[in-house]
Amino acid sequence: MGTLGWTIYRPEGLVIVRGAGVFNLSFITSFRKTVRAEGPVGYCKLFDLSRADIQLSSDDLRAMVASIRFTSATTAGPIAIVVGRTPPPLLVEMAILLKHRIGDRRRLRIFTDEPDAREWLSFEGPTMGLSNELFRLPFETAVSDSLGC
């Protein structure tokens, strides 16, 4: 399997997570540490999980939800999860369960394709008053800061 990673686009106030790798508690913990350390907590986040292998136990999901809910919706940017047009049932169930458990504490929506997710994120905007130019980035970005490229 490939690698799941993320890229931070500072001028646009956007973080994109994508790739064909394992999405588990270890990955999300590493992602959250980077976001806190590098400052883009208020940025919009686009999680393209359409090719990811979701490996979350009930305890992992509970820990992930607690961590996400800990960050206030007034300081954290919106989250768009892209599951793809024909997603595996487990991916859809996990995304819906995550959204349900987070509740109104964070702006989170689930999408079948990236253009719709980007449109919603563009409307929602980052919480830090940054540029709202999410459509200027290419949909198929191959370079990922998390991979050291």
pLDDT digits (tens, 9 = 90+) for 48-61: 999 998 888 889 98
In a domain, 138, yes or no: no
Taking each helix axis from N to C terminus, what angle separates 58-70 and 89-102, rounded to the nearest 10 degrees?
A: 40
The pLDDT of residue 90 is 85
CATH code of 124's domain: 3.30.750.24
The total domain count for the chain is 1
Q: Domain limits at 119?
A: 4-133
Q: Tell me what pLDDT residue 103 has.
A: 78
pLDDT at 18: 93
pLDDT tens readout for residues 91-149: 888 888 888 888 777 789 999 999 999 999 999 888 754 444 444 444 443 333 443 33
Q: Is 74 a member of any domain?
A: yes
| Residue 35 falls inside a structural domain | yes
Question: Is 80 exceeded by the pLDDT of residue 74?
Answer: no
**Is 16:31 a contact under the CB 8 Å cutoff?**
no
0.85 exceeded by pTM: no
In a domain, 147, yes or no: no
If we measure between CA atoms, which residue out of 42, 47, 46, 48 comes closest to residue 10?
42
Q: Is residue 65 part of a domain?
A: yes
Q: What's the pLDDT at 2?
A: 65
Give yes or no for a contact between 37 and 5, defined as CB atoms under 8 angstroms apart.
Answer: no
**Does 139 reside within a domain?**
no
149 within some domain: no
